[in-house]
Structure formats: C-alpha cells, structure tokens
Structure 1
Amino acid sequence: MLAKLVRFVLLTRFSKPLLGVIAFFLAYDIVIRALTNSPGFSTGFSYYAVGATIFFITVSLLFGGLFILKSDRDYLLTLPLKRRDLSISLFTAQFVGSGITILFLFGFYLGGARTLEATAVLIADLAILAAVVTALGVVSNILSTWLRAGLAVILGLWCFSSILGNPFTPVSPFTGDLLYGSIVLFGLAVVIVPVALRELAYLELGSMRSMLRATSSQYKRTMSFSGRSPVRAIYSYHLSFLELVARVNLAGSTSYRATRVRTSTVLIISSALAAVYLSLGLSAFADLLSTRPVVLILPILMGVITLVLMSQATFSNERGWLAFTAMDPAVYLRHLLLSRAVSTLAIIGPFGIVNSVLAFLGVSEGVNSSIVLLITVPSASILATYLVARMGAVQQVKEEGMMPGQFDLKQFLVIIPIYIMVALIAVSEISLIGSIIIATVVGILALLMMASKSVWRGIAYRLTERGFV
C-alpha cells in the first residue's frame, strides 16, 4: 500500500518526463564525479560544501512551503490512510521536488573522499543532509517569521564554525572530520526528520490550516472602479499596481510567492537608484562606466528579472477571468498585456532615461542600453508572456505556499525561449546596429501579435483548458 501511495503522490505532483529528466541529470552528475575522482582532500571543495549548506538551510527555513495541492484537503487527506504511509509519501514528494537539489552538488560534497569506504559514508551523509534540509522546509511552516530567521542564523553560524576548526557540525563530514561530523549529522536528522514526518501525518490540523488562515486573512485596501469603462478599469488597476509572482522551488522548500506593490512606490525607488547610477556616471567612476561593466550588465540583469517575473505574473495571479463574460477575451487580454508592459517602465524606465543622458554626455554604450530598456524589454515581455501561456507552462496561484498544479517538463523548457530573448538583449549591448535591428524586429512582432484578436482568444481558451478560473 505504501509503494502505491508514494507512486500516486509523486505522479500527481510531477509528470513522468520531468521525473525522467531529474533522474538523468542526477545519474549524469554521479558519473562525472566517478570519472573525475580526486585522490586527495580538496579544501576548496569543502568551502563550497559549507557555503551551499548554509544557503540551502536558509532558503528552506525562510521560504518553507509544501508539495501539497489545494485539492488534497478535500480528497487525499480525507482518505482512510495510515498516518505513517501518508507522511512518508508526502515527505518523499517534498524530497524529490526540492530537497534533491542538494544531491546535484554531489561532486563538491564528496571532494574529501579518499577511499571507497569514505565515499560510501559521505554519500550516506549527503542523503541525510538532504533529508534534514527537506525536513526543515516542512517544519518552518509551523514557525513564526522571527523563529525561522533566528533558527537560520543559528544553524548557519554552526555550519560556518566548521571552517574555523569545529568538528562537531552537520557539515563536518564534508570538511575532513568524517567520524564526528557523521555522528552530529545523524543526531540532527534523528531530531528534525521525525518532527517533519509527524507534521505531514497530521497536515490538515497543522500547516495547511495555518496557511489557509494566513492567506484568507490578508486584506488590502479596496479600489473603486465605479463610473469607469471596462478598458479604463483595466488600465487604472494595472498602472496603479505591479504584481510579481515567483516560484521558490529549491533546497527543501516550495512555495508560490505573489506580491502587489504600488507602481508609484516602485517608480520612486527606481528613480532614486537611477539618480545614484547617474551620479556615478558623472563622477570619477565615469571611466569605469565607459568601459562597459555597469552599462552593459545592468540592462541584461533587468531584462532577465522583468521577462521572467512579468511573464509568470501576468496570468498566474490574474483574477479577471469574469471579464470574459463581459467583453471579448481578446480585448481584455490585449489591454491587460499593454497596461502591464507600460507598468514595467516604472522599473526600467528611469534607467533607460539615465542611459540616454549618459549617451548624450559621451558614454557610447548608453545608446544601446536606452534602446534595450525603453523598447526591446517591454516588447519582449509581451512575447515572453505569450510563449509562457501558449506552452501551457503558467499556473494560476490560488493559495500561497501550495502547489497550484502538477510540475511538468514544460515549465523547464519554457525558460529556453525567454533566455533567447535575453541573449538578444546581450547582443544589443555589444552592437548599436544590432540593438536597433533587434528592437525593431521585436517591437514589430509585439505589435503584430497585439493586433491579432485570434491569437489572444486562443490564449484564453488555452488557459481555461489548463484549469484557470
């Protein structure tokens, strides 16, 4: 019964192709480690192991989250299952979905393995460490924010002390103290993992109830759209607020985070940062800027952030599906995308203007950067949003901290065309002619796409098929 339940839980959360890809890369990592085995202990690898462990523990505790579907509350958790089987199945899903991330650093953690016996012990230690990090992600859901932060600091300092020579830490096996470190790590697992298993066994009485209570009690100030036409209401809302959505799926944690911030607030902050950026360009650092480090990298970084976050947030946290009953879906989605493309200028617009000023003052790269930030990135955000929705990779966020649906391979593959756009942005930074050509092509494609009603009607149908309500 346990094996069947584990299989059911895994397949309702991960598609078979995705599980296959995870297994392939894990096997590839192990093979590469076997072929590049180091005969002696590597101090450099130990630093990576300590740093990675601190990072994983911090992310797991601060972000938390569970590989739980909202439907589990009504179906899975109501079945007459043994609590032990349920907790083990859910913990396995949690481990496969995020805790397994630590295993992909197989080579760094086993840098100190000199013999076959030591390698076997370190492999077991690494699996235990991944289980501990996964358990911390589960336990964090029942802790307050201050307790999460405090525990992350304590555990982080404890792990860091291994670099100072302390042999009694959870990461000591990977820094040369195999015996004492293994004992401490095993002892920590004996304490943390059972707590996580018990929490998962009585999930409907613990973490799930806490998450539902927290999300249902978050009230914001209401907005009135009285007297405004539907199109004006769309622009009024999306030009007043920026909505960002991101999925944290790493190091034992999995959660969807959605945030809404006033556009005016973002504009003030970005304008202040752009002013600092301009002052640096006009100061003694101007020579540094003219050699490209900042002017070149900044638009690429902002392009990545904008394309990834905005392409997901446009539909993931969108609650306007009732508008489809009041207006043509194509009309609604086109104005929605256009309003959000304009609102992104609150983030990148001030930097585009500053780059134009720098270009006028003689910083040649400023011309490329201003074209990228004011034309290419807003246009590319429309194309990226279309691709994400068309490939069916976007999921509607209904409850923060819970999975909105099954993870599948598309959610990994969809990042490829977005990175192609990022590569085009990088090319634009190198060549002015390339920047003009790319901005023109991307802008025309975005305009043509926005002009086609059938394209956006198809997207509305596609999203509806994916379960958007």
Structure 2
Amino acid sequence: MLAKLVKFVLLTRFSKPLLGLVTFFLAYDVVIRTVTTGNSPEFSGGFSYYAVGASIFFIAVSLLFGGLFVLKSDRDYLLTLPLKRRELSLSLFTAQFVGSGITILFLFGFYLAGAGTLQTTIVLGVDLAILAAVVTALGVVSNILSTRVRAGLSVVLGTWCLSSILGNPFTPVSPFTGDLLYGSITLFGFAAVTVPVALRELAYLELGSMRSILRATSSEYKKTMSFAGKRPVQAIYSYHLSFLELVGRVNLAGSTSYRAARVRTSTVLIISSALGAIYLFLTGLSPFADLLSRPVVIVLPILMGIITLVLMSQGTFSNERGWLAFTAMDPAVYLRHLLLSRAVSTLAITGPFAVANIVLAFRGVPAAVNSSIVLLVTVSSASILATYLVARLGAVQQVKEEGMMPGQFDLKQLLAIIPTYIVIILIVVSEISLTASIIIAGVLGILSLLMMLIKGVWRGIAYRLTERGFV
C-alpha cells in the first residue's frame, strides 16, 4: 500500500517526463563524480567554503519561506481518506524531498569536491542525502512557526554551520570541511530530531500546518479600493498602476510554495529612486566612479531585466480570476490593457535607473546610453513577449491559495526560464554595441506592438489559461 500511495502522491505533483529528467541528471552527476574521484589519501578542503555557504543558504531559505508540496484538492480528498498516518507522512515527505530538497543534491560536485578517495566520496554522498532530508524537514516544520521564530532559528543554525570554518567539528556541515567522523555523527543526530518531527507534522497535516496556512492566507485583508464611476478599462489601469503584484514560486531546498504580495507602486518608486540616486553617485560622482562605472552600468540592466521578466511572466496572470476577467469584457481587450498597465507599472522599478543612466551618458559614460535604451525599451518589450510565451506554453499556474501547490509540475514550466536567458543574451549584445542596442530595441518594440494589436492572439491566451485550470 505504501508503494502505491507514494506513486500516487508523486504522479499527482510531478509529470513522468519531469521525474525522468530529474533522475537522469542525478544519475549523471553521480557517475561523473565517481569517475573523477582522485586518489589522494587525505581530504582536500578547497571547496569547503562552497559547501558551508550553500548549506547556510538552503537552511535559511527552507526556514524563512517554508511551504508544502500539498495540493488544494488534498484537503478535500487525500487527507480525508482512512490511510495509515505513517504511510501518509512518508509519501508526502517523499514528494517534498523530490520536489525541493533534492535541489541540494544537484550541487553534488561542490559538496564532494574535497573527497580524495572513493570511500570518502561514498560517505560524503550519504551525508549529503541526509543533509537534503534535514533541510526538507526544516521546510515542513517551519509552517507551524511564527516569522520571528523562523528568523531566529535561521540565524542560530546559520551561525552553527559557519563555525565549522573556524574548526568546530560538531556541526551538520563539518563532514564537508574534513571532520568526517564527528561531523557525520552530528549530522545524523540532527536528522534524527528534525526528520521525525516533520514526519509527525505531515501525518497530522490537517490539524497543524494546513490550519496555519489557511489562517495566514484568510486573514490578511488590508485597505480596499473603490472603482465606482470608472469604466472597465479605467479600472484596470487604476488598479495596476497603484499596485505591483509580486508572485513567484519558492521551490528550493525544502521550501516550496507560491507567494504573492501587493506593494504600492508609489512605495516601489520611492525605493527605486533612492537606489537610483545611490547608483548615480557611485558610478558618476564618487571618487571611485571611474572604477565602478563600466562594470556596474553593464551588470545593472541584466539584473533589472531578470527582475522585470519574472515579475511580468509569473505575476501578470497568476492571480487572475478567469470567471470574472474573461466574462466582464472581451478577453482580448482585457489582457491587452492588463499587460500594458503592468508594463507601465514596472517602470517604477527600472525608470529611475534609466534616468540615472541618461545623466551618466551626458557625463561621458558611453555604456550608459546603451543601458538607457535597454531599460526603457528592450526590457519592457521583452517582458510583454515573455509573458505571452510563458502563458502560451502553459507554464504559468493560477495561485488559488498561498503556501500550496497550484497544480502539477511538468517540463513546460522549466521552459519558462528560456525567455529570461534569451533576453540576457540580447542585453549583453546591446551593451557591447550601440547599433545592436538600437536594432534589438526596435525589433522587440515592433514585435510587441504588433502582438498587442492582434486580438486573436489574446483570445487564444484566454482559452489557454482556461484549459490550464484558471477559474
């Protein structure tokens, strides 16, 4: 029965092609590491800093963000079945591990880089699997903890792990810094405490974490907005120019959840303006301007591009309610104005930096001209195209309840990262040549404009979102 339940839980959360791809990469990683293991009789700690830093990062993310690989339908179906608690908890923990804790195993090479012999490699491999189980368990347990307790535990555990660099052999990451015996014993003892607590929490999920999630997501009501007297299109712009909706999936090292937040556009504009002023001072007015101007001006558009693309492609449609949006007016009209309003609102993030780059251009920084074009035209146009592609591929999912999986993960969602990489390449090319920057901005601008003019494109997106379960 346990095997069937594990299979059911895994296949309702991950598609078979996705599970196959994960298995392939893990097997490839293990084989490569086994083949390349040296014959040194002693541990070489050159990569120990990577292991310690990555472990602290994974533990902090797992505790701070938490999240469960639980579907909304589980509350009405799976958790009501007369199943053995032990089998239910093991099945859910396996899904939690496969979906997020397994991320740490993809850093196999960094954690085991210091192993000199095959025997040491095997021991460290087992330790790494235990560490992945620990951070997975912390992600489960964090759901019943308050924010202050999460933050406090993150600091305490992070400091504990960091002490391994100072020679403390009794930490969960000490095996990867050379203290194989005491470190492995400490890690096993830590796992013997955290994993059973997580399994018990998953066994009685509807009495613990599920109630915490529902209470947290149903009580966060703030100010309401009034759209009285406004036409539908005016209401769209009024809302999306007033707020930036930040939506994203936290899926890392035991932490897996969809998070959503609304931030006032005016607040974002004030913060980005202050950061833009600091950026202008450091790259154009400070004594270190000559040293910083070139690298910072080039790197900034890449960071802004990533932030804007993620904000647009994942956040634009995730909170939309199809039954209301697509029935209140023509879906094509609604989606076009939705995208335009979102693109304009994201200028609250990139706009101040674009203005700073224009000032730098007048002060004789050539790369600033390219960066201004990228931030004002290239990124905005690319974000519209990326939003369309992600929705067309079916890689965006509707957030029905925060802290829970909105649906099954599949390979299509991995394709959502491709537009980001493409835009990064285009931005890099734009930074190299002003001519290329103008051409790329012009082409992307024309493509996005043409796409916005074709109503059939956006009606198709509305149908696609409905097919993917938007209600």
Calculate the TM-score normalised by the size of structure 2. 0.97
Verify: 1:80 aligned to 2:82, yes or no.
yes
1:83-130 residue CA offsets vs partner (Å, 9 max, x unmatched): 011000000000000111111122222234334433332222211111
Measured after TM superposition, the shift of residue 204 of structure 1 is: 0.5
For structure 2, which runs of at least 5 residues remain unmatched after alignment? none
Q: For the aligned residues, what is the CA RMSD?
A: 1.3
- Residue equivalent to 2:383: 381
Q: Which amino acid in the other structure matches residue 39 of structure 1?
A: N
- Residue equivalent to 1:461: 463
Measured after TM superposition, the shift of residue 145 of structure 1 is: 1.0
- Residue equivalent to 1:210: 212
Measured after TM superposition, the shift of residue 289 of structure 1 is: 4.4
Verify: 1:4 aligned to 2:33, yes or no.
no
Measured after TM superposition, the shift of residue 318 of structure 1 is: 2.4
Q: Which amino acid in the other structure matches residue 20 of structure 2?
A: G
Do the aligned residues in 1 keep the contact of 2:34 with 2:118 (CA within 8 Å)? no
Question: Quick one: distance in 2 between partners of 1:261 and 1:208?
Answer: 26
Question: Quick one: distance in 2 between partners of 1:115 and 1:42?
Answer: 11
Which secondary structure state, in structure 1, belongs to the residue aligned with residue 166 of structure 2? coil
Measured after TM superposition, the shift of residue 35 of structure 1 is: 2.2
Do the aligned residues in 1 keep the contact of 2:243 with 2:263 (CA within 8 Å)? yes
Identity percentage of aligned residues:
83
1:371-420 residue CA offsets vs partner (Å, 9 max, x unmatched): 11111111111101000100000001111111000111111112113311
Do the aligned partners of residues 454 and 421 (structure 1) sit closer, same or farther apart at CA in structure 2, a change above 3 Å counting?
Answer: same
Do the aligned residues in 2 keep the contact of 1:239 with 1:339 (CA within 8 Å)? yes
Question: Quick one: distance in 1 between partners of 2:64 and 2:251?
Answer: 12
- Residue equivalent to 2:24: 24
Choose the corresponding residue for 1:150, options 144, 152, 158.
152
1:233-274 residue CA offsets vs partner (Å, 9 max, x unmatched): 000000000111111100111011111101111111111111
1:18-73 residue CA offsets vs partner (Å, 9 max, x unmatched): 11111111111112212221333221222221111111111111111000001100
> Which moved further from structure 2: 117-126 or 83-92?
117-126
Question: Quick one: distance in 2 between partners of 1:228 and 1:333?
Answer: 18
Which secondary structure state, in structure 2, belongs to the residue aligned with residue 340 of structure 1? helix
Verify: 1:414 aligned to 2:416, yes or no.
yes
Choose the corresponding residue for 1:368, options 363, 367, 370.
370
Q: Which aligned pairs between 1:265-414 and structure 2 lie closer than 5 A? A: 265-280=267-282, 281-290=284-293, 292-319=294-321, 321-414=323-416
Q: Which amino acid in the other structure matches residue 26 of structure 1?
A: L
Measured after TM superposition, the shift of residue 275 of structure 1 is: 1.5
Which secondary structure state, in structure 1, belongs to the residue aligned with residue 261 of structure 2? strand
Q: Which aligned pairs between 1:107-118 and structure 2 lie closer than 5 A? A: 107-118=109-120
Do the aligned residues in 1 keep the contact of 2:322 with 2:470 (CA within 8 Å)? no
Calculate the TM-score normalised by the size of structure 1. 0.97
> Which moved further from structure 2: 108-117 or 437-446?
108-117
1:183-221 residue CA offsets vs partner (Å, 9 max, x unmatched): 111111111111100000000110011101110001020
- Residue equivalent to 1:100: 102
Question: Quick one: distance in 2 between partners of 1:299 and 1:26?
Answer: 34
Do the aligned partners of residues 114 and 419 (structure 1) sit closer, same or farther apart at CA in structure 2, a change above 3 Å counting?
Answer: closer
Do the aligned residues in 2 keep the contact of 1:62 with 1:148 (CA within 8 Å)? yes
Question: Quick one: distance in 2 between partners of 1:111 and 1:368?
Answer: 41
Measured after TM superposition, the shift of residue 320 of structure 1 is: 6.2
For structure 1, which runs of at least 5 residues remain unmatched after alignment? none
1:261-300 residue CA offsets vs partner (Å, 9 max, x unmatched): 011111111111112222231332332344x211111011
Do the aligned partners of residues 194 and 229 (structure 1) sit closer, same or farther apart at CA in structure 2, a change above 3 Å counting?
Answer: same
- Residue equivalent to 1:136: 138
Question: Quick one: distance in 1 between partners of 2:385 and 2:424?
Answer: 12
Measured after TM superposition, the shift of residue 357 of structure 1 is: 1.6
Do the aligned partners of residues 283 and 181 (structure 1) sit closer, same or farther apart at CA in structure 2, a change above 3 Å counting?
Answer: closer
Which 4+ runs in 1 deviate beyond 4 A?
A: none
Question: Quick one: distance in 2 between partners of 1:452 and 1:433?
Answer: 29
- Residue equivalent to 1:233: 235
Question: Quick one: distance in 2 between partners of 1:311 and 1:136?
Answer: 30
- Residue equivalent to 1:43: 45
Measured after TM superposition, the shift of residue 154 of structure 1 is: 1.3
- Residue equivalent to 2:164: 162
- Residue equivalent to 2:14: 14
Q: Which amino acid in the other structure matches residue 9 of structure 2?
A: V
Question: Quick one: distance in 2 between partners of 1:360 and 1:85?
Answer: 67
Question: Quick one: distance in 2 between partners of 1:391 and 1:138?
Answer: 31
Q: Which amino acid in the other structure matches residue 282 of structure 1?
A: L
Do the aligned residues in 1 keep the contact of 2:245 with 2:262 (CA within 8 Å)? yes
Question: Quick one: distance in 2 between partners of 1:364 and 1:289?
Answer: 13
> Which moved further from structure 2: 199-208 or 171-180?
171-180
Question: Quick one: distance in 1 between partners of 2:268 and 2:149?
Answer: 30
Do the aligned residues in 1 keep the contact of 2:37 with 2:118 (CA within 8 Å)? no
> Which moved further from structure 2: 80-89 or 109-118?
109-118
Which secondary structure state, in structure 1, belongs to the residue aligned with residue 364 of structure 2? coil
Question: Quick one: distance in 2 between partners of 1:282 and 1:129?
Answer: 47
Which secondary structure state, in structure 1, belongs to the residue aligned with residue 298 of structure 2? helix
Question: Quick one: distance in 2 between partners of 1:285 and 1:174?
Answer: 39
Do the aligned residues in 2 keep the contact of 1:38 with 1:111 (CA within 8 Å)? no
Question: Quick one: distance in 1 between partners of 2:280 and 2:169?
Answer: 49
Measured after TM superposition, the shift of residue 309 of structure 1 is: 2.1
Do the aligned residues in 2 keep the contact of 1:245 with 1:310 (CA within 8 Å)? no
- Residue equivalent to 1:186: 188
Question: Quick one: distance in 1 between partners of 2:125 and 2:363?
Answer: 58
> Which moved further from structure 2: 316-325 or 334-343?
316-325
Which secondary structure state, in structure 2, belongs to the residue aligned with residue 219 of structure 1? coil
1:297-337 residue CA offsets vs partner (Å, 9 max, x unmatched): 10111011111222100001224641322210000000000
